[in-house]
Structure 1
């Protein structure tokens, strides 16, 4: 994998890496711009975070610690970049990192072909590592800092869950997936 930092995304889809389309490529039925994706991701993320935090508060109410809660809510900002680097690690070729903090997003895009399974792993890996695992451990202990950290990191991956949903509902088994510009495509190799 070769990571290229491209800086602030200029909101022009044509400025993202493009590639020639594969024969028979089918575009995902997905958000057509970052504004729409940002709204979907931020609303879904807020709902996920709220549900998980409420569960964590009720689970740990006998050991609730305000400092731990604040710590758990601040630390997820430290894993924004590592989250994207875990996505990037799932690519074998060139991958490009962009920031779009005005719309609350960092993202990577790579125009290489991926199997459906690898695309799903790439989409979910950071959310499992930084979100679900810490949340589960925090709930089991209970530890409010770990639970809050995991809840927020899980919610931060809402746009990734949108990709997973689109992949599971639109892409047949055996298909390959790739990105070109802002959009994802799938095709059946011959």
Structure 2
């Protein structure tokens, strides 16, 4: 895998990597948002609702979350780039890291099996989100892990959207690839 840090995303979806569609002209585009700005807005709103729901769940376990949020917020921000690196290591070819429009994201045009695409999408959310949050739910004294999980699970909303699309649209033996700001599948 070769990681290329592209830096700030300029908002031009035509500047995102492309190339596989010409090799797979019969590929089917995921039924997803056409407009990247709409996608970004909707994912940020859904993330906020998820954050509030998980916060309320945490409130059932402990009281006095103010200090937890200070440390948890800082820790989750620090984990944003490692989150994208965990996506990136699931690629075998070139992958690009972008920042902007309220999102951190990686993009690459490599063809992946449906299972690997789902694993790539979920890996950082499992490591930085679900595992720490689960540890907190088991033992509420791990408040920092709870906050890390809370913010990381919420930040992964776009990844869950990709997993949902893969699970509901791609056949069992399908392959997936990204092309600009869309994801495609073929058999």
Q: Is the TM-score greater than 0.5?
A: yes
**Do residues 169 (structure 1) and 168 (structure 2) align?**
yes
Tell me the matched-pair count: 184
User: Which of 125, 138, 142 is the matching residue for 2:123?
Assistant: 125
Mapped contact 1:56–1:144 kept (Cα < 8 A): no
Mapped contact 1:6–1:97 kept (Cα < 8 A): yes
Match of 1:90 in 2: 90
Secondary structure in 1 aligned to 2:79?
A: helix
Give TM-score scaled by structure 2 length. 0.94
Match of 1:58 in 2: 60
Q: Cα distance 1:23–1:65, how it changes in 2: closer, same or farther (>3 A)?
A: closer
Secondary structure in 2 aligned to 1:6?
A: strand
Counterparts of 1:83 and 1:65, CA distance in 2: 24
Deviation for aligned residue 1:34: 2.3
Match of 1:3 in 2: 3
Mapped contact 1:40–1:159 kept (Cα < 8 A): no
Give TM-score scaled by structure 1 length. 0.92
Q: List per-residue Cα deviations over 1:71-114 (Å, max 9, x = no partner).
A: 112210001100000000100000001111xx210110010100
Secondary structure in 2 aligned to 1:10?
A: coil
Counterparts of 1:108 and 1:181, CA distance in 2: 11
**Do residues 35 (structure 1) and 34 (structure 2) align?**
no
Secondary structure in 1 aligned to 2:90?
A: coil
Q: 1:89-108 alignment to 2 at 5 Å?
A: 89-100=89-100, 103-108=101-106
Counterparts of 1:136 and 1:160, CA distance in 2: 19
**Poorly superposed stretches of 4+, deviation over 6 Å:** none
Counterparts of 1:8 and 1:69, CA distance in 2: 27
CA RMSD of aligned residues (A): 1.2
Match of 2:155 in 1: 156
